[in-house]
Structure formats: structure tokens, C-alpha cells
Structure 1
Amino acid sequence: MKKWLLLVVLSLVMLTVAACSGGDGEESEGNTNSNSNANDNNGASDSGETVELSFQAYGSTGYQELIDEYQDAHPNVKITLSEGEMNDVLSNLFTSISAGSGAPDIALIEVSQIEKFKQAQDQFYNLNDYGAGDLSGNYLDWKWQQAQSVDGSFQLGFPTDIGPTTMFYRTDVMEAAGLPTDRAALAEEISTWDDFYEAAKTIKAETDKPITDAPQMVFNALRDQQPVQYFNEDDELVAEENVKEAYDYTTKMIQEGLIGQNALWTPEWGTAMAEGSYAAMPGAPGWMVNNVRSNAPDASGLWDVTQIPEGAGNWGGSFLTIPAESEHPQEAYDFISWLTAPEQQLRSFTIAGLFPSTPDVYENEEFLAATDEYFNGAPTAKIFAEAAKSVVPVYLGINYSIVDTEINTALTNVAVEGADPQEEWDAAIERIESQLERQ
């Protein structure tokens, strides 16, 4: 009997030790899906251990200033920002998550490609596992939902900016053409796309300059005003019905010498911006202001902002995500939830013109009082806020970038090579349909 009691006591002791050891057994070894480990930060924040986060972005976000501020407040977190051209960055990101190697801790994803990445949501952390749902009320409903699964259970990313469109213009070129330089007067003078066409002819006749140098700016401006663009919600290609008219309008102006031939983001595009070799950038969103400042640092006061003809659309906007490869998801989450909070979105607007997706900011007195001396002292916040009121959410579809790329190729061929617009359109649609069949 004594031996039996001793065995029972020893067994109980062993069970107690095992229970206190905390999971170095089968459950820990089998938990290889990082999404199921959403709240595990490895104790790095508590221990004071330095955590290094890689942050991959594109364009001119102006985020470095905010990163520096965050690091000052969190000395155990080091964030390295890398920026590149959008298509290259997102292509590399998709390749990395597909291979399971090479993805950053934090990745910025543009709205036109968010549907594609949602199809690979198992390669990202679900931000809802960290409590992101409790913060959803800070953001525009439609913007939040763009990065959400259909049933709402998976949140891929935190919204950053949106891109309500306006018209940037050169006051010196408008003045030389005899057109108004005052914002309100110019908006009244060019209130329709017919007016825009007539203004383009005047500018060409008086200054020998095109109204804009990039065909894509005009096409995008018209496209983004459409409630349906390349695909309907059944993912059926409907470009012919919805954007062909925008394409025809743009190519007509190209053929008449009223629009230049520079492609967006090229050195030539930047040089033309600096030299004032054209009059306006229709369809320019808030995030474009930093591109203008960067490309034309000596043109301060010569650029201004007004409303676009016939109402704003939305061009762009992004989301901050955490790829599943990250070994520090908690620290990454803490940072991106801070970076996209209303206070920091207000700062991002001031720093880089990223228009907030947090509507509470729109009533903020500091926000509404914001002016931009580079843009001739324009009340940019009020102008972009007014534009945002007419933005209608648009379903983009998983294959949006395929269509957009091919149509822009057609526009470039018309502008640079003098190709026939209809032949280029037909060829673009043929290429699009061929690619869609392979998806």
C-alpha cells in the first residue's frame, strides 16, 4: 500500500511540473501557421530586447519623419523603411509571399491590387486577431471594407490614405494663356470636360504648350469619375461600356497636340513639371503633392490647386499589412495601428499630402486651416475635403492592374508612336482578354 501511495504522489508531482513548463511539447512544435500566433510577441517589448522591423513602401510617403518619432518613443524598436516604384515593389512582394521567403515585416499595398493579395490572405496576419476590429470606426466604412474578407472575419490591412482628385495647375502658364489664375475663377472657367478641351486649345494657341504632358492624367481623371470602370461586381470585363469614352476623349486631344507624351513617373515627366512646360494636372490626388515638390523644388508658388471638372473621383490609396513571415507581428501591429491613427494621418497629410481615410480629421480645425505655401498658399485641406465628398466607392476587381496596364500601353503608343487609337484599343482588349483567360 505504501509503495502504491508513493507512486500516486510521484505521478501528481510529474503532472504538476509538466503543466507549469508552458508548452514546449507537441502543441508548440506543430504551431507553424503564424496567423494562429497573432498575439505572441515573444516578450520583446517587455524584455527591452531590440526588435528590428523592415517596412516596404513605394512612392513618396513621407513616413520617415513619423518613423523617427515612433522610434524615439519606443527605443527598443528599429524600423527600416525602403521605398521603390509601386509595380516593382508589389510584384516583388507577391513573389516573396508565394515563395514563403523575402517578405518584409510590414508591407504597403495599393488599393488597385488589394483584391489580389486578399486571395493570398493565408500569407498575412489577420489584424482582427490583434483587436483591429475595435478600431474600424476610425475609418471610412468603404475604405475599411476594401481590405476585409467578405464575411468580415479577416482584416488584411489598416487603411492609410485615399485619393480624392483635384486639378493642379501652373499659374504662370494659365496667366500667359489669358486664363484665370484665381482658384475659384479657374474652376468656374473649366467646370466641364468640354471647357477643359476649349481651354486646352487656348493654351496651345497662346503658349504653344499642351494643357498636360501625360495622357494618363487625363484618362485617369475621367476614368475615376465613373461608378463602374473595368469590371462589374461579377468580375465581368466592362471596359468598353464604361471607359472607352474616356479613352476616345484623351486620344482625340493627343492627336490634336493638346496633350503631351510623357509617361507618369519618368524623368521627363518630372522635368516638365519643374520647367512648367504644360498647364495642368487634372485628376491629381492629394498624395501627388509630394511628387510635385520633389520633382520641382524650385517651382514653389507657381503651382496651385483647384477643383476638377465635373466632380472628383478617387485615385489610389493604400493599406498597411503584416506578411506571415514576420517574427515580430505584435510590434508590427503596434506600429501600423499607431501610424494609421487619426492623429498620425493628420500629420501624414501635413508632411506628404496623404489625404486621411479617418473622417474625424475632416472636422479638425488644424486640418481645415492647413495651407500649402508651395502650392501658392492654397487651402489644400479644404479643397481635398470638398473633393472627397463626391467620391463614390468603386469595385476594382482582382485583375484591375492587367486592364489598366494594357490601356495605358495603348495610350502611350498613340502619343509616342502616332498609332491609330481604335487599333490600339482593339489590340489592348485582345491582350486583356488573353490574359484574363489564363487567370
Structure 2
Amino acid sequence: MKKLLSMFLVALMIFTVAACSNNENASSEEGGGGGQVTLNFWVFGSTGYQKLIDEYQKENPNVKIKLTEGEMTDIHNNLFTSVSSGSGAPDISMIEVSVMEKFKDASDRFYNLQEYGSDDVAGNFLEWKWKQAQAVDGSFQMGLPTDIGPTAMFYRSDVVEAAGLPTDSDELAAAIDSWDAFYETAKTVKEKTGKPISDSPELVFNAIRDQQEQQYFNEKDELIIEDTVKKSYDFTTKMIKEGYIGQNVLWTPEWGSAMAAGSYAFMPGAPAWMMGVVKGNAPDAGGKWAVTAIPEGAGNWGGSFLTIPKESKHPQEAFDFISWLTSPDNQLKSFLDMGLFPSTPDVYENEEFLATTDEYFSGQETAKIFAEAAKSVKPIYMGKNYAIVNSELVTALTNVATAKADPEKEWKAAVKRIEQQLGRQ
């Protein structure tokens, strides 16, 4: 009997240990037992995040992060398909600001980050950037901000000098401190150099539009383009008709060639990341390009957020990682490593950040210029159909510039196309 009892007790102990082990494994798989957790992470663009992922995994050996990099459109399309079908979404996905409203429309397919601690880190970020990923009533936080694209005004110092204007960035900003002054400067540039002040109608239009507190839609998703947007359009088309703005369309070979040739004086509304575009198109023009402030204030073009789809079984672990990745310290690292401009204003006081210069852009402290721009951006509501409106207005501007079309007829035709498309949404 003693022998049988001993065998029974040993078997019971083995069973108990095995059961505990199985429970620990199950808990680990669900992300709640301190075991190994795997997070699938989708990004687009050149983020350099793998280096930070390696650092995080060393500090958190229970977390494994699988990075998937792709083209922006592909990542967005795959994500939308996945969350719509309820299958195939990652634990974390990057979403660009231009499509954030579209995904916010499906917010029930994402975790509300307020439930995992987003309010505790909200103070790390620029307020306008934070609101771009938040519900209108503030009840839902869709994502944590990564980079931003504050805008400035790039200029060709050789063309500016030939026009008799100051080439110093601060002096030039003081001389062109309003759009009326920009218009008068355009006359001077044309008279002295024979060149337009800018070659892209879209950039001029964008620069003025982005300074407004409202753009294409109000928070009820009603179209509101007949006031400030129309004024931006009218100002731009007036300068086109008078020969002060050229006709190059963004991202075309002609647009890139004009950067190298110095065919114009200013590139207003250019975001921080556009510096790389200029260098790529005009590699031999180093020292001829410089940066100054936009008349009447900056806007923002681009930037992204990190979100957690509802399919993730590890939302807390995912949030812990993205809150670490988007912290001021790590946004500084991303800036120094890959040029991702921080959405965390604490970085703007960092000595290493402020000391950042760019020899191509005349050795200027470019980070400081864009930081000042970032702090002046006004929060706006974009709306899920922003791209529809923007595309049609750009078409109208392009027709005025390239085909000498009548601005008012083009505006009315664009509005009609916009209303037709919105009616089908």
C-alpha cells in the first residue's frame, strides 16, 4: 500500500507540474504570462526602425518583433483589406496622415490606445499632431505619432542674389513676411532675372492652404472650399496668369531638372523631407540651395502614426513597444539616423538636434528652422475624402498653368467633379 501510495503521489506531482507548464505556455501565447510574445509590425518608407527594434528586444527578451517593410500604398491597401475581412492584420501598423481619416472611419477594427495608457504619453507630442489620430470628441486615440513634415521655403541663393534680394535666411524672411510681399518679390525676380518666383503651382497653393484653420471639410464632413481655399486658388492662378509661377507638375522629370538648373527662385511649402528630394534631383547644386520661413506661417505635409489592429492578441505589449519607439529619446535617434523629423517638441531643445547643419543647404541649422515651423502649425480636420478634393483642385491648377485654361471655369468644373464623387461615397 505504501508503495502504491508513493507511486500515486509521484504521478500526481508530475501531472500538476505538466498542467502548470501548459497554463504558462497558454498564458504566454496570449501575451499575459511573461513568456515569449511575437509582434508583427508593418511599416513603409525608410524608417531605420530595425536598429531600434534590436535595442528593444535586448531590453525585453520576452518580446520578438517581426518587421515587414513595403510601399506605402501597398501597406495601406493590405491593412484596409485585412481589418475589413478580420483576417491577416498585424499587431502594429503604420498609417500615413493623408489616409488616417479613412481608417478612423473603421476605428472599431482598432484598439483605443486610451485603454492602454496613451493619455500618459500625450504630453510628449505636438498637440496638432496628436489630434490628427484622435476622434473629434476626443474619446478614441487611434495611433501614436511618429514623424512629421513641417514646411518651410527653400530658395536658390544664386537666383535670389541676382534679383538683388538678401541671401541671408533671416533677412530674407523679414523681407518676405506676407503673401503680398511674396507677390511683390515675384515682380522683382521676374524683372531682374527673367525667371518665375516658383515653378510649381501646387506648392504655392499648398503653402497658403495649409496655413488655414479649416481646409476642405469641417468636422461634420461638409465641403467648405468656397472661402479660404478659393482665396488660395485665386491667388495662385493670378500669379500663374501674370507669369510669376511656372508650370512644372510635382514629381515629373521637368520638375526635378528645374531644381538642378536653378530655373526659379523659391520653393514654398516644402516639408523637411523634401531636402532629400532636392539633393537627389540636383546633386551638383550644393551650397546654392538654402531654407527660410514661409510668409505668414508654416503648414505640415506628411508624417505617420502607429496603430494596433483589433486582431492583435497582445495589445498591451504592442502599446508598450510603440510608446517606447515614439518617445522623445528614440525620435531623436530616428532623426539623427534617418532624418525622420520628430513630433516630440522636447527634442527641439536638444543640443545635438539644434546643432544639426546641412552643408548642401548652405551649412544652415536646418533642424532649428523646421522645429520653429513645426511649433506654428495649426491643427486642421482633413476628412476621409480629402484626397478626392485635393486631386481635382490640383488638376484645375495644372490646366491653368499648362493649357492656359480660364481659372474660374476650371474651378467650377473641379467643384462639379468633386460634388459628383462625394455623392457616390
TM-score range, shorter chain: 0.7 to 0.9
Q: Residue 433 of structure 1: CA displacement?
A: 1.2
TM-score normalized by the length of structure 1: 0.81
Q: 1:241 and 1:152, CA in 2 relative to 1: closer, same or farther beyond 3 A?
A: closer
- Could you give the per-residue CA deviations for residues 294-333 of structure 1, whole angstroms, max 9, x where no partner exists? 3333332221111111222333332122334557656654
> What CA distance in whole angstroms lies between the structure 1 residues aligned with 2:307 and 2:259?
33
> What CA distance in whole angstroms lies between the structure 1 residues aligned with 2:143 and 2:260?
35
Matches within 5 A, 1:320-359: 320-325=306-311, 332-359=318-345
Matches within 5 A, 1:382-397: 382-397=368-383
Q: 1:282 and 1:333, CA in 2 relative to 1: closer, same or farther beyond 3 A?
A: same
- 1:63 aligns to 2:50 (yes or no): no
Matches within 5 A, 1:67-82: 67-71=50-54, 74=57, 77=64, 79-82=66-69
Q: Residue 353 of structure 1: CA displacement?
A: 4.4
- 1:313 aligns to 2:299 (yes or no): yes
Does the 8 Å contact 2:332/2:353 carry over to 1? Answer: yes
- Could you give the per-residue CA deviations for residues 372-404 of structure 1, whole angstroms, max 9, x where no partner exists? 222111122322232234322122223222211
- Correspondence for 2:189: 203
- 1:274 aligns to 2:260 (yes or no): yes
- Could you give the per-residue CA deviations for residues 19-57 of structure 1, whole angstroms, max 9, x where no partner exists? 966599xxx9xxxxxxxx9x94487x844x8x5745232
- 1:423 aligns to 2:409 (yes or no): yes
> What CA distance in whole angstroms lies between the structure 2 residues aligned with 1:227 and 1:380?
26
Q: Residue 159 of structure 1: CA displacement?
A: 0.7
Letter in 2 for 1:71: D
- The match for 1:406 among 380, 392, 395 is 392
TM-score normalized by the length of structure 2: 0.83
Does the 8 Å contact 2:156/2:266 carry over to 1? Answer: yes
Q: Residue 95 of structure 1: CA displacement?
A: 4.0
Q: 1:96 and 1:199, CA in 2 relative to 1: closer, same or farther beyond 3 A?
A: farther
Matches within 5 A, 1:27-38: none
The count of aligned residue pairs is: 406
- The match for 1:112 among 98, 109, 113 is 98
Letter in 2 for 1:188: A
The alignment partner of 1:74 has SS state of: helix
The alignment partner of 1:356 has SS state of: coil
- Correspondence for 2:6: none
Q: Residue 283 of structure 1: CA displacement?
A: 1.3
The alignment partner of 2:226 has SS state of: helix
Q: Residue 101 of structure 1: CA displacement?
A: 5.2
- Could you give the per-residue CA deviations for residues 193-226 of structure 1, whole angstroms, max 9, x where no partner exists? 1221222233333333322222111000000111
Q: CA RMSD in A?
A: 3.4
> What CA distance in whole angstroms lies between the structure 2 residues aligned with 1:155 and 1:40?
23
Letter in 1 for 2:345: P
The alignment partner of 1:423 has SS state of: helix
- Could you give the per-residue CA deviations for residues 244-270 of structure 1, whole angstroms, max 9, x where no partner exists? 111011112222332222222334333
- Correspondence for 2:4: none
Q: 1:391 and 1:22, CA in 2 relative to 1: closer, same or farther beyond 3 A?
A: same
- Correspondence for 1:184: 170
- Could you give the per-residue CA deviations for residues 339-375 of structure 1, whole angstroms, max 9, x where no partner exists? 3110122233334544322122222222223222221
Runs of 5+ unmatched residues, structure 2: 1-15
Letter in 2 for 1:74: Q
Q: Percent identity?
A: 63
Does the 8 Å contact 1:67/1:79 carry over to 2? Answer: no
Letter in 1 for 2:194: D
- Correspondence for 2:152: 166
- Correspondence for 1:243: 229
Letter in 1 for 2:333: R
Q: 1:79 and 1:371, CA in 2 relative to 1: closer, same or farther beyond 3 A?
A: farther
Moved more, 93-102 or 297-306: 93-102
